[in-house]
């Protein structure tokens, strides 16, 4: 039975939700919940690692956007350079560096939500097994 114990606390309820999975920044994040002495759920303590991950993702997204702008500019410059009477052929390789950066950051941004969901599920399962 989930309800107040003899001392008025919610002991079984606390055990049942000691490790909730919360939505944070679009990703599932497993965090430890804090309870006061009467068993009431307090605000969860988000680990500093979680906050650092959110900042990292935000910076990486911004870098991805700016790299896309640089890539577009280099492609335009390449078209202009190759349209000249005497084209500068080596300039056609300039867009490859921003393209490679776009590939790497894009793959990370694509895979990150799936990896975080999997990690949150695995952490929740580990906690349930440890009980």
What is the mean pLDDT for each group of 10 consecutive residues in the chain (131 residues)? 46 43 42 58 62 86 96 96 91 95 95 85 75 63
pLDDT digits (tens, 9 = 90+) for 82-116: 999 998 889 999 999 999 999 999 999 999 888 88
3-state secondary structure of 1: coil
Closest CA to 93 of 82, 103, 104: 82
Q: How many alpha carbons lie under 13 Å from residue 100 in its C-beta half-sphere?
A: 5
pTM attached to this predicted model: 0.56
Calculate the alpha carbon distances from 85 to 1, 69, 75, 89, 98 in Å: 85, 27, 18, 12, 26
Handedness of CA 23, 27, 28, 32 (dihedral sign): negative
Kindly list the domain boundaries of the chain, sorted by start residue.
Answer: 11-130
């Amino acid at each position: 039975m989930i309800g107040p114990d003899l001392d008025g606390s919610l002991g079984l309820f606390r055990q049942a939700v000691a490790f909730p999975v919360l939505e944070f920044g679009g990703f599932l994040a497993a965090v430890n919940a804090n309870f006061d002495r009467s068993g009431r759920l307090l605000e969860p303590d988000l680990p500093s690692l979680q906050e650092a991950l959110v900042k990292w993702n935000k910076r990486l997204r911004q870098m991805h956007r700016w790299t896309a702008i640089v890539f577009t500019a280099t492609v335009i410059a390449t078209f202009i350079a190759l349209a000249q009477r005497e084209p500068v052929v080596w300039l056609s390789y300039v867009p490859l560096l921003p393209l490679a950066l776009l590939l790497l950051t894009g793959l990370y941004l694509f895979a990150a939500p799936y990896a975080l969901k999997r990690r949150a599920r695995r952490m929740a399962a580990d906690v349930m097994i440890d009980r």
